[in-house]
Amino acid sequence: MPDAEDVRRIALSLPDTTEKIAWSMPTFRVAGKMFATLPEDETSIAVRCPKEERDELVMAEPGKFWIADHEAQFAWVRARLAAVEDEGELRDILADSWRQAAPTRLLDAYPELGLATGD
């Protein structure tokens, strides 16, 4: 089961990513734009996710994904780290969120980054 240190290591391995404390929690940003946070005492992550996909994720895996009330109007979803299968799944989740926040210059430079491994 991945933990907060795995989140940090994987998030910071993504191009142009920095960690910054905001709202009393670690946040991860690509080119200054936030793509992940470590809320709930670092037992979950919040990541960018299009609303239509987010709703499907929550319905398909309610034990893993949920929508925080204060984020319902935004394209974010939470994932419980204890329910994330392994580092590969965590990397896919973080990289997908990174792609949604990354500027075009980084997306063009790393076109393969974050594509699901497709076991």
**Residue 113 within a domain:** no
**Residue 43 within a domain:** yes
CA distance 26 to 28: 7
- What is the span of the domain harbouring residue 20? 4-105
pLDDT of residue 117: 45
The answer to whether residue 40 scores a pLDDT higher than 70 is yes
Question: Span 16-24, mean pLDDT?
Answer: 95
Question: Span 2-20, mean pLDDT?
Answer: 97
**Residue 118 within a domain:** no
**Residue 32 within a domain:** yes
The answer to whether residue 108 scores a pLDDT higher than 70 is yes
User: How many domains does the chain divide into?
Assistant: 1
Which two structure tokens, joined as six digits, stand for 85?
């299968």
* pLDDT tens column, 84-103: 999 999 999 999 999 999 99
Question: Span 21-25, mean pLDDT?
Answer: 94
**Residue 68 within a domain:** yes
pLDDT of residue 43: 95
Q: Which CATH number goes with the domain that contains 99?
A: 3.90.1150.30
Strands (E) across 31-106 are located at 33-37, 44-48, 65-66, 76-80
**Residue 116 within a domain:** no
* pLDDT tens column, 43-100: 999 999 999 899 999 999 999 999 999 999 999 999 999 999 999 999 999 999 999 9
Enter the pTM of the model: 0.91
